[in-house]
Amino acid sequence: MKYLLPIFLILLGCNDKKQLEDFHASNIAESSLVASWKGGSLSMGQLQQGIETEIYEKERELYEMKMDHLKLKLIDSFMKQDERKKNLSNDDYLEKFILEKSDKTVAPKELDKFIADKKMSEEMITAQFKERAREYILMEKRTKALENWLLKKMGEKEGKIFLKKPARPSVDEPVLAGIPYWGKKDAKLKFIFFSDFQCPHSARVHRLFLENQKELPADVGFYYWPFPLPFHSRAKLAAEFAFCAFEFGGSAAFREVYNNLFAIQHKLTPEEMWKAVKIKGIDQQKMKKCIDGHMPLEMIEDFRQKAIKMGIKATPTILLNKSLVYGIRNWKDIQDVIAEFQN
């Protein structure tokens, strides 16, 4: 029975007779409603409730597609305005005047860092993989050179972009009592991490903040909100270890254990978790009683359910000043998000 409605909707879409779209009103621009009928109506806000994240993702995809196309149009226009272009093809102009001075080598330390960031096992790091990695790094350098050229041209020609970014979904700031934190409590930039110790993407974002923490603004605060995913068999137990450490050592102990647990993500066994919590200032007998009795479990599940009600569906998700942030790929994404909220 649960599949009946989706099938019904598909059949409705395939029907060649009168369709729902045929009931479009003539004054759509004048109304905030998406539908009305005798005895009721539906607003845009009501329609989007519960799918705000999915809507934002699609709007962002569309924005990025338009922005990529805009970049190509701008590059083509700026090339044509250059007298040196004349009979040169775009590719020839690109190589001769834009990429000529770009770095065409890959230093060993660059390759080593690329491989280290991928967290790959030794057997996967073959000569073929290294060659592809070099090609990728070189392509990144070429892309960066082209972007710098485009930014320079936009500055010279007093260019402006009017393409509007989609608004991030927002939620009311949750009560943060009982949540581990570090940094400033009254910070202007407040990061709340919804994270899972077994999620590789959570580990990657954690590593980005850890490696670049000196570049963060001074006025920033961090909160950790447990969101163990049900299909990660050891994520909830890892959260228990972290919150037991928080119980007996406060936020400083939690942060150390938090770092330790992400560092052993590839071997997140109970034995390794015990090693992760053997830190100065933590009474191991109290820890054992806490873990054996699963003392934080009810609280962790309560936090998880509250997160679901806020619209959190995946990890890592960041709540930054009431706005949901996800899809972080690299440190530049984080810098862009911070700049967005500082301006």
Quickly count: other Cβ atoms within 10 Å of residue 49's Cβ: 10
Domain that includes residue 26, residue range: 4-48
Q: Which residues contact 262 (CB under 8 A, 6 or more apart)?
A: 197, 202, 203, 206, 207
Strand, helix or coil for residue 33: strand
Same domain assignment for residues 92 and 188:
no
pLDDT at 132 over 90: yes
Same domain assignment for residues 206 and 114:
no
Q: How many CA atoms lie within 13 A of 103 on its CB side?
A: 11
163 inside domain: no
Same domain assignment for residues 32 and 130:
no
Cα–Cα distance measured from residue 75 to residue 236, given in angstroms and rounded to the nearest whole number: 50
Cα–Cα distance measured from residue 36 to residue 43, given in angstroms and rounded to the nearest whole number: 9
What is the model's pTM? 0.70
Longest CA–CA span in the chain (Å) reads 79
Same domain assignment for residues 308 and 271:
yes
164 inside domain: no
Same domain assignment for residues 214 and 150:
no
pLDDT tens sequence across 28-82: 554 588 888 999 999 988 888 878 888 888 998 999 999 999 999 999 999 999 9
Same domain assignment for residues 137 and 196:
no
Same domain assignment for residues 332 and 210:
yes
Q: At CA 14, angle to CA 13 and CA 17, rounded to 5?
A: 95
CATH of the domain at 200: 3.40.30.10
169 inside domain: no
16 inside domain: yes
How much is the pLDDT for 175?
85
238 inside domain: yes
pLDDT tens sequence across 87-107: 899 999 999 998 887 888 889
Cα–Cα distance measured from residue 215 to residue 338, given in angstroms and rounded to the nearest whole number: 11
270 inside domain: yes
Q: What value does the mean pLDDT take over residues 167-190?
A: 86
Same domain assignment for residues 16 and 97:
no
